[in-house]
């Protein structure tokens, strides 16, 4: 079995895009949009576990990872969703299971809302949730900046875009024994790719969480109206998205399959074996 992940580039609207790909062309597709402050690197270990049956595709968004950082791109959740739509069109992908994690969740759900017939199912893993009352305590730190004038808000958020904060994002709320399993490559790599332009992009995207709140009703309506088959696989040791965040999805997806594992926000680093087994079982049932 060929379990190698290929590292490819494609030009979309003049932007050179890096992406990881594994599995046979023509096999059922799993689309893997990444979170912040990360890149397609977060899926590097999951992809070989599933590529015997599925075609897995994980792009680096413009301004992240090894993709270009053009000056004229719309670096917002809307802009990234439009990019993701163009990306799957360029690869001639028309149906897929969508992985929703971190900022990949508000981006991916916009794609799902725009193209509901393309979405075979959802794998929801510590994604940014659309339930205001079920957010974790760390989100309150972001919300406190929303009362500031925009320049002051961005100045405060800019203080959080630094290597030490990246480290804290990846370690999050883990106990020491689990924290030891998180490779420092995660924050070292992604901080090494930071530039002044990319820092500006990150600040604007985090600031955009305030505006994204208006998308919550559309997000919930999509889930309730379409009832996509859903696997909720969650790391409850997450200051942003704790256990109550995972359970909140059951309000609109009562038939979703919920599994709480022992890790945190970056579950594919700490509980890869358990998560991959659950994902494989789900994919075999809905997208085999």
Per-residue pLDDT tens digits for 68-118: 999 999 999 999 999 999 999 999 999 999 999 999 999 999 999 999 999
Give domain status of residue 262, yes or no.
yes
- In this predicted structure, the answer to whether residue 33 has a pLDDT above a threshold of 90 is yes
- In this predicted structure, the answer to whether residue 45 has a pLDDT above a threshold of 70 is yes
Give domain status of residue 142, yes or no.
no
How would you classify residue 14: left for phi > 0, otherwise alpha for psi between -120 and 50, otherwise beta?
left
In total, the chain counts a number of residues equal to 288
Nearest to 279 by CA among 93, 53, 60, 108: 53
Rounded to whole angstroms, how far apart are CA atoms 230 and 254? 10
Give domain status of residue 29, yes or no.
yes
pLDDT, average across residues 194-200: 98
How would you classify residue 23: left for phi > 0, otherwise alpha for psi between -120 and 50, otherwise beta?
left
Q: pLDDT tens digits, residue range 233-285? A: 999 999 999 999 999 999 999 999 999 998 999 999 999 999 999 999 999 99
Quickly count: other Cβ atoms within 10 Å of residue 38's Cβ.
24
Rounded to whole angstroms, how far apart are CA atoms 41 and 73? 22
Task: Please tell me the predicted confidence (pLDDT) of residue 2.
Answer: 84
- In this predicted structure, the answer to whether residue 29 has a pLDDT above a threshold of 70 is yes
pLDDT, average across residues 211-237: 97
Rounded to whole angstroms, how far apart are CA atoms 128 and 219? 11
Rounded to whole angstroms, how far apart are CA atoms 59 and 202? 17
Q: pLDDT tens digits, residue range 4-24? A: 999 999 999 999 999 999 999
Quickly count: other Cβ atoms within 10 Å of residue 219's Cβ.
21
Task: Please tell me the predicted confidence (pLDDT) of residue 1.
Answer: 66
Structural domains in the chain (count): 1
Give domain status of residue 86, yes or no.
yes
Task: Please tell me the predicted confidence (pLDDT) of residue 79.
Answer: 98
Give domain status of residue 180, yes or no.
no
Give domain status of residue 243, yes or no.
yes
- In this predicted structure, the answer to whether residue 165 has a pLDDT above a threshold of 70 is yes
Task: Please tell me the predicted confidence (pLDDT) of residue 226.
Answer: 98
Give domain status of residue 172, yes or no.
no
Give the structural domain span for 72: 6-136+215-286
Give domain status of residue 185, yes or no.
no
CATH of the domain at 279: 3.40.50.1820
Pairwise pLDDT comparison (139 vs 224), residue with the higher score: 224
């Amino acid at each position: 079995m060929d379990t190698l992940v290929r590292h490819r580039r494609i030009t979309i609207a003049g932007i050179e895009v890096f992406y990881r790909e594994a599995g046979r062309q023509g096999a059922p597709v799993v689309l893997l949009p990444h979170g912040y402050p990360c890149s397609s690197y977060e899926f590097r270990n999951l992809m070989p576990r599933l590529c015997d049956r599925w075609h897995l595709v994980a792009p680096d968004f413009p301004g992240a990872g090894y993709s270009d950082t053009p000056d004229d791109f719309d670096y917002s959740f809307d802009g990234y969703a439009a990019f993701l739509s163009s990306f799957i069109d360029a690869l001639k992908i028309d149906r897929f299971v969508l992985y929703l994690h971190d900022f990949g969740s508000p981006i991916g759900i916009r794609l799902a809302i725009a193209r509901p017939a393309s979405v075979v199912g959802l794998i929801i893993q510590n994604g940014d949730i659309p339930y205001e009352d079920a957010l974790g305590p760390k989100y309150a730190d972001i919300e406190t900046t929303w009362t500031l004038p925009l320049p002051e808000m961005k100045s405060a958020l800019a203080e959080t875009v630094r290597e030490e904060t990246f480290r804290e994002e990846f370690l999050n709320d883990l106990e020491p024994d689990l924290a030891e399993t998180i490779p420092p490559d995660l924050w070292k790599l992604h901080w090494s790719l930071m530039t002044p332009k990319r820092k500006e992009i990150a600040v604007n995207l985090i600031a955009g969480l305030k505006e994204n709140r208006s998308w919550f009703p559309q997000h919930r309506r999509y889930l309730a109206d379409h009832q996509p088959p859903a696997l909720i696989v969650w790391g409850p040791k997450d200051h942003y998205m704790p256990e109550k965040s995972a359970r909140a999805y059951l309000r609109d997806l009562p038939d979703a399959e919920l599994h709480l594992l022992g890790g945190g926000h970056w579950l594919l680093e700490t509980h890869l074996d358990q998560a991959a087994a659950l994902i494989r079982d789900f994919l075999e049932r809905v997208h085999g």
